[in-house]
Amino acid sequence: MLNSLLVRNGMFDDLFEDFMDKTPALFSGYVSPCLGHLNTDVKETETSYDLAIDLPGYDKNDVKISLNDGYLSIEASRESDDEKKDKDGNFLRRERYSGQVCRSYYVGNEIKDDDIKASFKDGVLNVIVPKKLETKKVEEKKYIAID
């Protein structure tokens, strides 16, 4: 049964907590290529986990969602070229992020890519991950042969 959504790649979390959170991932072979951070709200409903991920300034075509080995990965990348420049073409100030941001969530191996729904509107990516309920096995009565 999927009881929680495990979040990876918290960039500015408490240093000790962040280290402890990522340590098991290092030993499991999970390594993130991204340095950026995605702010995410996770809402639990009876049947799903609803993620609202802030991606201001990104377009739907800049975003990729993948599911691999139980991890739902969201990544977005963009390049900015319309920054303020001085007369020689040098940047006076550069504060907007350009590059790649990503975050991964452990959703379990029971979830398939067809189960997940996503939409993008006004710089917010909404992802709905259904909960997979554990199906109870019906015990079959087995008889023992008597010799």
What domains appear along the chain, each with residue ranges and CATH number? Answer: 6-130 (2.60.40.790)
pLDDT at 42: 93
Distance CA 113, CA 82 (A): 36
Residue 34's CB: how many other CB atoms inside 10 A?
Answer: 19
Which tokens hold the place of 40? 């995410």
Residue 43 has pLDDT above 90, yes or no: yes
Whole-model pTM: value is 0.62
Check residue 125 and give its pLDDT: 97
Residues of the chain with pLDDT > 70: what percent?
A: 63
Considering only CA atoms, which of 33, 30, 31, 36 is closest in space to residue 10?
36
Q: What is the pLDDT of residues 123-139, one digit of tens each?
A: 999 999 999 866 666 67
- By the 10 Å C-beta count (0-12 exposed, 13-18 middle, 19+ buried), 69 is classed as exposed
